[in-house]
Amino acid sequence: MTSTVNQREIKNRVKVSRLVFWISFVMLLVTRTVQTTVLTSYIPGIFLSGLTGIASILLVSKIFFLDRITNIRAVLIFTTVFVTLIAAHTSGLHGIIPTVLLILGCSEIPFKKIIKGYLKIVVPILVIAYLSTLTGFTTNLVFSDAGNVRYAMGTIYPTDFASHIFYLLCAYVYLRAEKINLIDLSIIGVGFLGVSILTSTQADMIGIGMLFFLTILFAFQNRIKRKKQLGKIYKHAVRNLFFSPVIIFFLMCVLTFTFNYQNGVFVRLNGLLTNRLALGNQGYLVNGIKMFGQYIIQSGWGGASSEMFNNSIGNLTYFFIDSSYIGMLLCYGVIFTVITLSAISVNLYHRIQAEDALYIFVWCSILLVSAVDQHLLEVQYNVFLLGICAEFMNRTSEHKNEMSYVRYAELKEW
């Protein structure tokens, strides 16, 4: 009898816990996504802030009163929340608080359901935002850059639209997993062309290209593993991919902090990275690196700032650290950065042990893009952050129906 009562209590706790999470998830994702579109100008800021506050309170309740917490997990949660609160206060970027709470609140929530929820929320908002520009209700912001016309497509800046497309493709590909075929590859290709033609955003074009290549690699992984030498190389490479967040972070730091205009290689690389190295270096020289972060004034060309850009005075005021790694280190500080990179690396290590190669490959695409893109820690883009604490179904490297994957003959004919 006691066992039955305990089981009922556990089921009720999990049910309430999941309900609280989904309410918070919808609130935060809706508000955050709307804020990346032109719709944000027509919704009172106090309303969006109110939803964020309510969602944060609900998440705190879930984490500390509904979730099962071991002693080790309790220490990690308290440390993470404490460091986040300090970093948010010193940087003035308080939006990181609900993001961290959402990540920590993913306990006992199936990750694939989170991905599905993300797609069901973000896609309709982006469609509505774009349709509002077609009807004249809002303005479709258009920018001219070095002779290229770039369209924001209902978002506040073309790079934001491009980033949405990239992250939506990442989510779509991961959901397809065991069913990847030529249609899926075509969808990735259409996304690449759309980003290229409409936004000319090199970072996301590279990211989508990387995603395309790694998706094919995943589709053929069983055949690769059966090749003696090639299989060894593949397995060894995948086993060590959990180091990628730290490697890319340090590489970007070295390139940024040692940048100088006297070195021709640096100048050319800075040009390829659309001035990312110079801007990051400027932020480093002016502000330095702090343990718990600092407040850094940044000004981009998105949203209302586009008027300043269109009036040809943007070059005098523009300063934005686009690299997620450099921005995180300078704004949030060393300790927050160490916790974040450690959490991502540990998460990747566990997924490698579970042989969830596609999850690893998607993260590799995200980490690469984040070197020159600022959306790594923004859940309205990177929903894969929630995978750090979410629940996963077991997956093995041997797939039941390999015929559902792209076959060489099909690819050749295509």
Per-residue pLDDT of the chain (414 residues; tens, 9 = 90+): 566 667 777 788 889 999 999 999 999 999 999 999 999 989 998 999 999 999 999 999 999 999 988 899 999 999 999 999 999 999 999 999 999 999 999 999 999 999 999 999 999 999 999 999 999 888 888 887 766 788 999 999 999 999 999 999 999 999 998 889 999 999 999 999 999 999 989 999 999 999 999 999 999 998 998 988 999 999 999 999 999 999 999 999 999 999 999 999 999 999 888 889 999 999 999 999 999 999 999 876 544 444 444 444 444 467 889 999 999 999 999 999 999 999 999 999 999 999 999 999 999 999 999 999 999 999 999 999 999 999 997 544 344 333 334 443 444 443
In DSSP terms, 143 is beta-bridged to 150
How many Cα neighbours within 13 Å face the side chain of 176?
23
Q: What is the pTM of this model?
A: 0.91
**Count of C-beta atoms within a 10 Å radius of residue 268:** 10
CB 217 within 8 A of CB 361: yes
Sequence-separated (6 or more) residues with CB below 8 Å from residue 282: 319
The pLDDT score that the predictor gives to residue 240 is 95
Closest by CA position to 173, among listed 401, 383, 343, 409: 383
* pLDDT reported for residue 308: 42
**What single string gives the DSSP state of each residue in 61-91?**
HIIIIIS---HHHHHHHHHHHHHHHHHHHHH
* Confidence at residue 243, expressed as pLDDT on a 0 to 100 scale: 96
Number of Cβ within 10 Å of residue 179's Cβ equals 11
- Report d(CA 217, CA 211) in Å as an integer: 10
Residue 393 pLDDT: 76
pLDDT the model gives residue 22: 97
Classify residue 276 as exposed, middle or buried by CB count within 10 Å of its CB (0-12, 13-18, 19+).
Answer: buried
CA distance 321 to 308: 19
d(CA 308, CA 316): 10
The answer to whether the beta carbons of residues 323 and 370 sit under 8 Å apart is: yes
Q: What does the alpha-carbon distance between residue 189 and residue 306 come to, in Å, rounded to a whole number?
A: 30
